[in-house]
Amino acid sequence: MTPIFPGSVDAAGQRATLGVVGGGQLGRMFVHAAQRLGYSTAVLEPDAQSPAGLVSHHHIQTGYDDPAGLAQLAHLCQAITTEFENVPAQALQTLALTRPVAPSAAVVGIAQNRIEEKAHFAACADVSGVTCAPYAVLETPAQLQAVLAERADLLPGILKTARMGYDGKGQVRVKTAAQLAAAWAELGGVACVLEKMLPLTAECSVLVARGWDGQVVSFAPQRNVHVGGILAVTHAYAGNMPAALAARAREAAVAIAQHLGYVGVLCVEFFVVDDGSAHGGLVVNEMAPRPHNSGHYTIDACDASQFDLQVHAMAGLPLPQPRQHSPAIMLNLLGDVWFDADGQPQEPDWYAVLSLPGTHLHLYGKLDARAGRKMGHLTVTGPDIAGIKTVARRAAELLSLPGLDAI
């Protein structure tokens, strides 16, 4: 891969341009990072008012698999990435015929399908040292019958659709065989996995960036708290989890990325389970082939963010090991914040929040706030952990955020 230099201009007078398929908030923060370095950007997104499309030099407003739109993206850009998991892998394949695409259609395809994803985790368990939760594949009525008859060990469990799940969508918790059968029918009998419900003591994730040349860097694990299946709080500071466990998670995530031959930013999510050992056991949950909500704190707390590394990796630039300069807590801001206790629309009290020291507000430019919709996030940084906890708690109170007891 020949590096694509930021700010360079070709013979036709066109500035080096990086492209992204998808126009959500991850694309927006990618665009910000690319533009800061001096690249032009192009976003392929059907929505006229998307978070990334609103801030990009070019917005190609077509479907993700529209041949003309893809051709235009390839024409404009020297390299292309994606910002959401459910991008049609075929679209990335088409783009890769003429342009460097990172991550590749093949690895995005694996991460899009829980069945393939778990098979990958199993295939590299020897090098990663972690396995996933016990599970069974449910693709046919015969497999359902077999699981009902033979896999009582997986109950209580969570039935998850193999494809298109996010933020806890496409998941049903089941306690009994009858509930399992009903839940599979309710999901339309599509390909699923039934996962055993594990006693989680914590959750964490690790961000890895890997270049075309195999160079790899990673961030320390962040500890994540979910409320209602959606990330609510991320704790990113030394001591957020036992050091031995953090080291294992980081090594496992790097091994998983290496084994995939991954290029770009990969986020690997882990469960910490009570297995009777001193620090608990580590179980790999899933991976996202892109920057991740749990890594947003890196923008304000590190000398290179997950989006900076996404830009560097795809453009063939060096990947220096990022350094976290401040402890951080990230609070997700869902659409609920724009409604009062009676469900009436309200403007959040940003004046009060922004008067707290070390608060960094990121709103994604979405016009309509809806319950559960990711509208933005607030990162709190400061010189010490006790101080950021105090500020984060106060901000969470002011905004009536969930997960207050987890700060």
Of the pair 203, 308, the CB lying nearest ligand ATP is at 203
| One of 45, 117, 203, 308 touching ligand ATP (CB under 6 A) | 203
Least spacing, CB of residue 283 vs ligand ATP, in Å? 8
Residue 394 annotated as binding? no
Beta strands in 109-228 (DSSP E): 131-132, 135-138, 157-161, 171-174, 192-196, 200-210, 216-218, 222-227
- Decide if residue 83 touches ligand ATP (CB under 6 A): no
C-beta of 83 vs 203, nearer to ligand ATP: 203
Is 203 annotated in a binding site? The answer is yes
Q: Which does 158 bind (CB under 5 to 8 A by kind): Mg ion, ligand ATP, none?
A: ligand ATP
- 158 contributes a contact to ligand ATP by CB under 6 A: yes
Q: 61 or 201: whose CB is closer to ligand ATP? A: 201
Confirm or deny that 226 is annotated as ligand binding: yes
Work out whether the CA dihedral 336, 341, 347, 348 comes out positive or negative: negative
Q: Does 372 belong to an annotated binding site?
A: no
* Residue 235 or 312 having the CB closest to ligand ATP: 235
Among all chains, which residue has been given the structure tokens 């790097």?
A: 254
Give the one entry of Mg ion, ligand ATP, none that residue 83 binds, where binding means its C-beta sits below a cut-off of 5 to 8 angstroms depending on kind: none
Least separation, in Å, of the C-beta of 252 and ligand ATP? 16
Cα separation, 400 vs 387, whole angstroms: 20
Rg (CA), the chain: 21
Pick 39 or 84: Cβ nearer ligand ATP? 84
From ligand ATP, Mg ion, none, interface partner of 404 (C-beta below 5 to 8 A by class): none
Which listed range, 56-64, 267-275, 337-345, 361-369, lies at the site for Mg ion (CB under 5 A)? 267-275
How far, in Å, CA of 198 to CA of 134, rounded?
9
In 10 A of CB 405, how many CB atoms? 8
C-alpha 113, offset from chain centre? 15
226 lines the binding site for ligand ATP (CB under 6 A): yes
In degrees and rounded to multiples of 5, residue 279 shows phi and psi of: -105, -5
Q: By CB under 6 A, is residue 197 in contact with ligand ATP?
A: yes
Measured in degrees and rounded to the nearest 5, phi and psi for residue 141 equal -55, -35
Residues 51-70, interacting with ligand ATP (CB under 6 A): none
Asked if 168 touches ligand ATP (CB under 6 A), the answer is yes
Q: What are the beta bridge partners of residue 79?
A: 18
Among the listed ranges 160-168, 355-363, 366-374, 387-395, the one in contact with ligand ATP (CB under 6 A) is: 160-168
- The stretch among 3-11, 23-31, 73-81, 162-170 that binds ligand ATP (CB under 6 A) is 162-170
Q: Are 153 and 159 in contact (CB under 8 A)?
A: no
Backbone angles phi, psi at 324, to 5 degrees: -85, 125
Interactions with ligand ATP, residue window 102-141 (CB under 6 A): 133
Candidate residues 83, 286, 300, 308; the one interacting with ligand ATP per rule CB under 6 A: 286
Assign 74 to helix, strand or coil.
helix
248 is in an annotated binding site: no
Q: Which does 200 bind (CB under 5 to 8 A by kind): Mg ion, ligand ATP, none?
A: ligand ATP
What is 334-376 written as a DSSP string?
A: EGGGGB-TTS-B----HHHHHTSTTEEEEE---SS--TT-EEE
Q: Please, which residue, 85 or 269, has the CB nearer to Mg ion?
A: 269
Q: Which does 133 bind (CB under 5 to 8 A by kind): Mg ion, ligand ATP, none?
A: ligand ATP
H or E stretch at 143: helix 141-150
Residue 171 in marked binding region: yes
Tell me the torsion sign for CA atoms 49, 51, 56, 62.
Answer: negative
CB of 231 to ligand ATP, least distance (A): 6
**What count of other Cβ atoms lies within 10 Å of the Cβ of residue 145?**
11
Options 73-81, 91-99, 141-149, 191-199: segment touching ligand ATP (CB under 6 A): 191-199
How far is it, in rounded angstroms, from Cα 252 to Cα 256? Answer: 6
The b/e string for 359-377 (b: 16+ C-beta within 10 A; e otherwise) is bbebebebeebeeebbbbb
Do residues 32 and 311 lie in contact, with contact meaning Cβ atoms separated by under 8 Å? no
Show binding-site residues: 114, 160, 165-171, 195-198, 203, 226, 285-286
- Write out the residues near Mg ion by the rule CB under 5 A: 269
Show binding-site residues for ATP: 114, 160, 165-171, 195-198, 203, 226, 285-286
- Write out the residues near ligand ATP by the rule CB under 6 A: 133, 158, 160, 165-169, 195, 197-198, 200, 203, 226, 229, 269, 285-286
